[in-house]
Chain A
Amino acid sequence: MRRALFRSIVFAAGVLTVAVIWSPPVAGQASKNRPVIAGCPSVSAKFHPCALEKAKTFSPPRMPDGTPNLQGIWDAPLAMGFQNVEDFPGDPSPGGFGPAVTVIVDPTDGKVPYFPWARAQRDENIKKYIDPYAQCLPTGVPRQMANFRTRQITQSGSMISIVNEAGGHIYRVVYMDGRPHLSAAFKLWMGDSLGRWDGTTLVIETTNLNGRWWYDSMGHFASDALKVTERLTLVDADTLHYQATMEDPKVYTRPWTIVFPLERIKEKGYEQMEEACHEGDHDAAGFVLGGYQPYVGPRFPQ
């Protein structure tokens, strides 16, 4: 309990503090600390084939209705909030981010396959705009799954909920009852998520996203045409292989895929706490004063 309380106090200090002053143990650094996860190399390019091979021989626990039981509280020790989805050499300036190893497994060069104008916009994003997450805006998908601290998966009837602790109270409800997606009139921060089972893999298709968030702190972005297809597969009792494929014909030349592990929190009595973000965040104004502007989404070439 004391530890949990400490966490909430630390994070009450605000996302901006986390993003700028504290250089989090992100992909590259963490993979040095955790070279092996679930018996697989932790770097995404190697974890991906290794973990899926292991999953073939793992028989997951089941819900009463026979579907795989993915319930629990999950940490993303290697993704850690997506400092950068691509390789990053590290920024030596004070408060700069450390190096990161890409979580992109396809294409194999580890780069987001942007159209040239979109690559230029990504470069402009980090120079001109505030990471929407630092303004306490919702993470979108897939950043929800990579976000700092934990997310809780609950399976109940024909829906699955994914509720995060950090990021200013965000959640998704994944409907499993075969309903159609919302009409294109809806553009949502967290999108419209529909799920199904492919063997022991939970497949979630998310559309109706609003294109106003970034994947990471480095300006990587999508438009409101994005479709995200996630695949969650238990590798062993306490490890999920998490995969997300992004398709957005307005921004990318081809689909691209990221992979990272999710690890179960096994601490007895662990409970997700309240994290108010906007309610206590007076830092966004400082960002604006510093010359950065709120990000409102991609500007397409004329």
Chain B
Amino acid sequence: MLKDQIAEMERRALAELNSTGDLTALDEWRIKYLGKKGELTGFLRGMGSLSAEERPLVGQAVNTAKNTLENAVAERTASLKNIALNATLANDRVDVTLPGRPAQVGHVHVITKVYREIIEAFTSMGFQVAEGPEVELDYYNFQQLNMPPGHPARSMHDTFYFSESVLLRTHTSPNQIRVMEKQKPPIRIIVPGKCYRSEATDATHEFMFQQFEGLAVDRDITLADLRGTLAAFARRLFGEERKVRFRCDYFPYVEPGVDLSIDCMVCRGAGCRACKYSGWLEILGAGMVHPQVLRNVDIDPQKYSGFAFGMGPERIAMLKYNIDDIRQYYRNDLRFLHQFV
């Protein structure tokens, strides 16, 4: 009888529980059925009037109902919390297309970007980075490089002078001499730095530009090694599929002299405006160090041979990023510089 009442109460409680809509209603429900003065306690309180046989049975029934209701309320609580959280989240939305808070990070100069790539490529092949002065002696810039006063090749170097013997270096090649004066083979160096030519500025000429000089001197260094080294470099900078071309060129401080071209990235060698319809883009000049240059620094050209190369990061950046005007680099317009990240 009492058991029936308990069962009836349990059914009623569960039905009410299912219709609670929020956590407050849930609390009220809990007090009504499970609280100290709740209905379930009421049954226990009324147990005193029961017989000794009935008492454990009713106690058990009350406990079972208590468990059922407690489980149900826990479940209902979790579900209502979840509903409440979802409701909160539903109202806490942003427009994900709005811009983020700006993080202030600057840019290195585009020439530095290329500089880093060049240095990285050559240091990974065992070249070390050296430097030399920009204000240089005629002796290093020309004489020791096989260009005595009056040499016709000097006319390829429009030179800024301070005096007859002091000038602004026209290339980084004087560092071949400066390095070899101090260091004996094996030598593998790369020398970056600013150079100057007294020429009118236009889209492809600047009176100041940068250069990277490379030099390797050891026993048995060959033109094929030069080609291999430069090809490895070119592919690293311009892509693994690059083809390289060597052609004969003249620099008084190398013999044989070459320059290196890569196949045009725009037309893939078919010929276009970028490559002047030749299919090839010249990227640097190079050659085997002239025996006289080695002799000038007391290195025996019969025992040792070496190669040297010189390249302009401006030219390389122009090819890499399709820049059409060299004057952009040192104008330092931030709207230009910000394009390179």
Interaction A to B = no
